[in-house]
């Protein structure tokens, strides 16, 4: 019975394709039309007959002719169109009986690079759809190892085979892992790179095959974790080899590397192996490369991958490596070209390192130390630890300044004021920001007369902070307009900053001080001396007081974020905050507890210089007075804060009339 309709036309085109009496152009044209119209074929019986004829004709032609290396060869073009017909055949029950036969044919073909790539794609597609049973006839494609492009596809094929035939090839894949480690460590020598005959395109194909192989390793690493750990040194060297040699112009390759690296670094036993190369990874030229495109597109992925690694091995980092991490992610925290998620991630990482710094300083102080106060067994100095804590505090305070001077005013400018009946309508900026700026100005002018510790050491604490961190402060709002934060992002940032500053101050209070040189033997240090030393930690140094005093103003301003609310998709600014707002209570309590833990002397130094700003701030909202209640509720600060506040009010009794 002859097929009818579309299938009949396809049969005619199939016959014309293998009709040697026709010209090459006509045969190729019929083959191309056959490919284009296969998806229009209908009818199960007709499709079964067509599939049978297609397989028989192509199988006979492919086995009776020889592959050609010259792409312009007529025979090569005909063999190519035959493989394309297989690829265009619609999936269904009509093709299922022939799936294994087609696979057996594809595995035996000895083709040139172009056709082998098509064979690999066909093998993958047929296995995905029909899931044939395992066969020992399956083997590596002949001569595939001579093509770098084909080698790029082999790892994907092996992953698919492992998914389908895990019980059959588990041992074979384990034997593949040592070869992977050796392969990713291969690289041309410097002399070969400088050779005029060095082919950069071939080198890129070679590295692409290495990265694809690394992606395969990332897929199986948790299955063969013990075996991979045995070759962990080679793995680390191989991954660093790829980072060093990956051309900056190939962005996709480096992106695929980082995706694979994230999976590899998720293995708990593998992460510590990268401790020795962490300094190299924190070098942006090595981690990301020097190309503009690769830097612009891959910095978020690269830094998030590195942050995950640093976070998980932070317990094993030396103070030198922690300092390096603070330098890198401190810059990222203030880099407005990075997405907010990366800036926020950088802040979280910095705060996670704070406790590590304190723990190392405390551990070093309990060890028998030399006269200089340095634990010579670990090289940890309490002074170095406090310096790192101060540097982290400066970074957070600097970010708080950016929030109060740029992000928060920009957000408030987009809000609709929510006014009461007896309150005139004014702009949000006039009501909040300008008034607050005036209060700060008058407060700072008045503070100079108090002769406070902060006033004696610096008129602007952040100037010292910026110089120490090498981070420029932008003088205008223009550079931040592009990176304006959403309401939710800004609330999250404010909460993280205020909680983080409290954590840093806690660590500063608990962190031991640098021991003073003396001729007293370590064995003669009594328990009383140690207790006195610990109690003295709560006294902040002048530099620490300067930065924390600057934060006081920014912290009060950041609490204003709770006034911004969302209703019906629009932003409003409440004239008075809600006493039931949990976010406001949390921020005020966190802000108060930041200063409660200080020694009375340090506490008094800050509040004497900032009491005017504090009183002005409390007048803005009744709920802000809760901070004063938190300060007065602490037994150690009741008299101290009460005396400062009472002195301030008594000096202004004449203004009451």
Assigned domain for 107 exists? yes
Assigned domain for 618 exists? no
Mean pLDDT per 10-residue run, the chain (657 residues)?
66 90 91 86 78 92 85 87 90 89 84 83 90 74 69 84 86 89 93 90 92 92 90 95 89 93 92 94 90 86 95 93 95 93 95 91 64 48 86 96 93 81 44 46 40 36 43 39 76 95 93 54 44 56 93 93 86 70 88 91 91 89 86 84 88 73
185 and 155 within one domain? yes
299 and 154 within one domain? yes
177 and 135 within one domain? no
Domain's final residue, options 293, 313, 333 = 313
Assigned domain for 239 exists? yes
Assigned domain for 90 exists? yes
Closest CA to 52 of 91, 6, 94, 8: 94
172 and 133 within one domain? no
> What are the φ/ψ torsions at residue 572 (nearest 5 degrees)?
-125, 150
* Ramachandran category for residue 581: left, alpha or beta (phi over 0 → left; psi -120 to 50 → alpha): beta
Q: First-to-last CA distance in the chain? A: 115
SS3 content of the chain, % helix, strand, coil (to 5): 70, 0, 25
Closest CA to 480 of 565, 419, 404: 404
> What are the φ/ψ torsions at residue 566 (nearest 5 degrees)?
-115, 125
Closest CA to 354 of 378, 383, 390, 327: 390
DSSP-derived letter for residue 358 is H
254 and 239 within one domain? yes
Assigned domain for 427 exists? no
Assigned domain for 305 exists? yes
Contact, 561 vs 408, CB < 8 A? yes
Assigned domain for 73 exists? yes
Total domains, the chain: 2
246 and 183 within one domain? yes
CA 233 to chain CA centroid, nearest Å: 24
Contact, 433 vs 412, CB < 8 A? yes
108 and 47 within one domain? yes
R_g over Cα of the chain: 35
222 and 98 within one domain? no
157 and 9 within one domain? no
Domain that holds residue 107: 1-141
For the question of whether the overall pTM of this predicted structure is more than 0.85, the answer is no
Closest CA to 508 of 607, 614, 396, 399: 396
d(CA 453, CA 549): 10
91 and 156 within one domain? no
> Would you list the DSSP string of 557-610?
HHGGGGGEEEETTEEEEESS--TT-HHHHHHHHHHHHHHHTS-HHHHHHHHHHH
Residues in Cβ contact with 23 at an 8 Å cutoff, skipping those fewer than 6 apart: none
106 and 163 within one domain? no
Domain's final residue, options 261, 281, 313 = 313
Domain's final residue, options 92, 125, 141 = 141
Question: So what's the pLDDT on residue 333?
Answer: 95
Contact, 523 vs 368, CB < 8 A? no
d(CA 411, CA 571): 9
207 and 239 within one domain? yes
d(CA 214, CA 217): 5
Question: So what's the pLDDT on residue 60?
Answer: 92
Assigned domain for 568 exists? no
């Amino acid at each position: 019975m002859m097929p009818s309709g579309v299938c009949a036309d396809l049969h005619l085109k199939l016959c014309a394709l293998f009709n040697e009496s026709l010209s090459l152009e006509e045969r190729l044209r019929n083959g191309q039309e056959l490919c284009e119209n296969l998806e229009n074929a209908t009818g199960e019986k007709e499709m079964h007959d067509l599939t049978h004829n297609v397989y028989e004709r192509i199988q006979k032609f492919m086995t009776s002719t020889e592959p050609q290396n010259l792409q312009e060869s007529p025979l090569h073009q005909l063999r190519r169109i035959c493989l394309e017909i297989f690829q265009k055949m619609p999936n269904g029950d009509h093709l299922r009986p022939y799936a294994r036969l087609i696979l057996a044919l594809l595995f035996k073909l000895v083709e040139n690079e172009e056709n082998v790539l098509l064979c690999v794609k066909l093998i993958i597609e047929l296995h995905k759809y029909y899931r044939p049973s395992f066969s020992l006839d399956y083997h590596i494609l002949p001569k595939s190892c001579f093509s770098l492009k084909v080698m790029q596809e082999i790892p994907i094929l092996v992953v698919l085979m492992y998914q389908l035939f895990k019980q059959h090839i588990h041992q074979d894949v384990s034997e593949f892992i040592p070869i992977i480690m050796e392969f990713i460590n291969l690289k041309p020598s410097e002399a070969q790179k400088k050779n005029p005959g060095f082919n950069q395109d071939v080198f890129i194909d070679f590295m692409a095959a290495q990265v694809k192989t690394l992606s395969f390793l990332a897929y199986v690493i948790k299955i063969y974790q013990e075996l991979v750990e045995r070759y962990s040194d080679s793995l680390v060297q191989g991954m660093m080899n790829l980072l060093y040699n990956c051309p900056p112009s190939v962005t996709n390759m480096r992106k695929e590397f980082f995706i694979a690296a994230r999976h590899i670094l998720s293995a708990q036993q593998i992460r510590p192996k990268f401790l020795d190369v962490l300094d190299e990874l924190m070098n942006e030229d090595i981690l990301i490369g020097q190309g503009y495109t690769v830097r612009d597109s891959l910095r978020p992925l690269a830094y998030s991958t590195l942050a995950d690694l640093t976070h998980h091995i932070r317990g094993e980092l030396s103070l030198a490596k922690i300092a390096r991490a603070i330098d890198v992610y401190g810059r990222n925290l203030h880099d407005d070209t990075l997405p907010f998620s990366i800036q926020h991630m950088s802040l979280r990482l910095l705060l996670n390192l704070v406790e590590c710094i304190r723990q190392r300083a405390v551990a070093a102080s309990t060890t028998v130390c030399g006269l200089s106060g340095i634990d010579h067994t670990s090289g940890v100095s309490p002074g170095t630890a406090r310096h790192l804590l101060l540097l982290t505090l400066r970074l957070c305070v600097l970010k708080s300044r950016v929030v109060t001077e740029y992000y928060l005013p920009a957000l408030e400018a987009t809000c609709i004021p929510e006014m009461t009946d007896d309150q005139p309508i004014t702009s949000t900026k006039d009501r909040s920001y300008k008034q607050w700026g005036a209060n700060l100005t008058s407060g700072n002018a008045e503070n100079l007369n108090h002769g406070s510790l902060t006033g004696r050491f610096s008129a602007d604490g952040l100037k010292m902070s910026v110089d120490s961190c090498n981070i420029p402060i932008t003088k205008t709002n223009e550079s931040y307009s592009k990176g304006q934060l959403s309401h939710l992002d800004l609330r999250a940032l404010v909460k993280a900053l205020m909680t983080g500053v409290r954590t840093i101050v806690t660590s500063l209070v608990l962190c031991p001080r640098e021991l003073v040189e003396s001729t007293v033997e370590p064995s003669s240090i009594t328990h009383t001396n140690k207790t006195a030393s610990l109690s003295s930690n709560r006294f902040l140094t002048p530099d620490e007081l300067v930065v924390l005093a600057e934060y006081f103003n920014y912290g009060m301003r950041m609490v204003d974020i709770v006034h911004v609310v969302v209703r019906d998709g629009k932003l409003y600014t409440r004239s008075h905050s809600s006493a039931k707002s949990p976010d406001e209570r949390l921020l005020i309590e966190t802000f108060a507890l930041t200063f409660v833990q200080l020694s009375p002397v340090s506490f008094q130094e800050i509040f004497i210089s900032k009491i005017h700003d504090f009183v002005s701030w409390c007048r803005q909202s009744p709920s802000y007075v809760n901070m004063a209640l938190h300060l007065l509720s602490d037994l150690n600060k009741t008299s101290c804060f009460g005396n400062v506040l009472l002195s301030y009010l008594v000096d202004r009794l004449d203004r009451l009339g």
